[in-house]
Chain A
Amino acid sequence: MHSERHILSAFDRDLESVQAMILKMSGLVEDAILDAARALDTRDDELAEKVRRGDKAIDALEEQVNHECARLIALRSPTAGDLRVVLSVMKIAGILERCGDYAKNMAKRSMIVSQANPVAGASGAIRRMARAVQVMLHDALDAFVARDVERAAEIRVRDADVDQMYNALFREFLTHMMEDPRNITACMHLHFIAKNIERMGDHATGVAEQVIYLVTGDMPEEARPKGDVTSLAPGMAE
């Protein structure tokens, strides 16, 4: 990748501004993930409501990124590394927007869960899982800024940990629901929250893959390690 400047300095400014936009987006999404998990853990409906409302700003940023990237392509005809910057920025913006939606969904469910009896240990475990995913996302954006392929590759591997956490929670919720059917409502919502976080982990690896594409020009070939086994284990998912 190039640290050299374009002869046309406005081109540099445009490329920098769209990248700054996804960094800002990522900041908002990371906060939303942590806040949603904290709202769940502390039964703070006000904070959950704040997360729910905050998603609008993330959506607006994505639209702005798409608009600016379209303009950049039309006016500047980016090629090679510049083209890959624009393409990866658009993809990452789409990924972050999706993560924002998941965080918003977590917040909505947390407002329902807070009405039910607490499920022992669940919200703390979810909060740790959310924290792990937020760090993955943060590191993926750091790798993007640093154009660091190795760090990006390492994030892809880390997603297996999140999948493990999800698998453990899945089993736990199943046990709680079998023990006492009154837990079902809360556990169903908690399960969806955990699944949302697990999906965000996948999206964080999607960002990492964009970093690899941005730097090398190729998408990573080998399949990343899969940790979510709930759909494979017989007797578990039924």
Chain B
Amino acid sequence: MNDMNLTERAVQAAEAKMIARGVNVHYGDTHALKDVNVDLLDRTVTAFIGPSGCGKSTFLRCLNRMNDTVASARVTGEIRLDGEDIYDRRVDPVQLRAKVGMVFQKPNPFPKSIYDNVAYGPRIHGLTRNKAELDAVVESSLRRAALWDEVKDRLLSPGTGLSGGQQQRLCIARAVATAPEVLLMDEPCSALDPIATAQVEELIDELRSQFSVVIVTHSMQQAARVSQRTAFFHLGHLVEFGDTSQIFTNPRDPRTESYITGRIG
């Protein structure tokens, strides 16, 4: 009770991990994302909010070239990870996605054992030399995802047999196992109950000590709780980007205010 310090809200790192400049995305004739400029800071949680179809997921998917898999998608502009253009022809998207991991809305564990789910990434990327090292990576990843204690006695049972919240944390463990530098999360809690949501949020807060996390969420309260920086997207535009506490107490743009206060914007 004697500690008057509020929860640490300050951004811990000033240097940008990923930089996006003039990013435009077209799906066929649809102009989905219009001239987006963003600096994603290292060791910081950045939340993308906005109504459905505003472009936030599209932009998230640009960050690890997931849009490459969409035939009609055309991405222009520049996105740099540690100064390196990720759309350069010499960049291997598979290698990029090991550095920029992703967790999806619905838990999608592979139809394999819990162990193999987590070991999959390190195996295909050849990150470990022997079984002992792989075991260690699996354990530390499951621990970081706050799942180890719940699954350590049944690592060989199928991942799909876990509860929804456990499956999502398994997917986070799987994403963490390749030692990414950036973790993208597309509505990671929308299929979870409040307890599992709180566990994932706590986890996100822990993960930011190691890398930069970008989370797309429809829950404004979640964005307010977990992020240090918030970006508001609307109709393909990045409307406002700033400190989360500023966005939620005193947004500069009336469209941001309309959206976060639950008015028609």
Interfacial chain B residues near A84, Cβ < 8 Å: 249-250
CB distance from B247 to the nearest CB of A (A): 8
Q: Size class of B's contact patch?
A: 10 to 19
Partner of A6, one of B224, B251, B263: B263
Q: Given contacts A217-B249, A217-B250, is CB(A81)–CB(B261) below 8 Å?
A: yes
Indicate with 1 or 0, residue by residue over A79-97, a CB within 8 angstroms of chain B CB atoms.
1111110000000000000
- Contact of B221 with A by CB under 8 A: yes
The answer on a CB contact under 8 Å between B263 and A79 is: no
- Whether the Cβ atoms of B257 and A5 lie closer than 8 Å is no
Render A1-15 as a binary contact track against B, CB cut-off 8 A, 1 for contact.
010111110010000
Tally of contact residues, A, Cβ under 8 A: 17
Chain A residues touching B, majority SS? loop
CA distance A7 to B260 in the complex (A): 11
**With A217-B249, A217-B250 in contact, do A2 and B220 touch (Cβ < 8 Å)?**
no
B14 to chain A, nearest CB (A): 25
Least Cβ distance of A218 to chain B in Å?
A: 8
Report if A78 contacts B (CB, 8 A): yes
Q: Which of B249, B251, B260, B264 contacts A5 (CB 8 A)?
A: B264
- Say yes or no for A115: interface residue by CB 8 A criterion: no
Q: Are B261 and A79 in contact (CB under 8 A)?
A: yes
Does the CB pair B257–A80 fall under 8 Å?
A: yes
Q: Pick the residue among A2, A11, A77 that contacts B257 (CB under 8 A).
A: A2
Q: Which residues of B contact A (CB under 8 A)?
A: 220-221, 224, 248-251, 254, 256-258, 260-265
Can you add 13 more A-B contacts, CB < 8 Å, to A5-B264, A80-B250? A2-B257, A2-B261, A4-B265, A7-B262, A7-B264, A8-B262, A78-B261, A79-B261, A80-B251, A80-B257, A80-B261, A81-B261, A82-B261
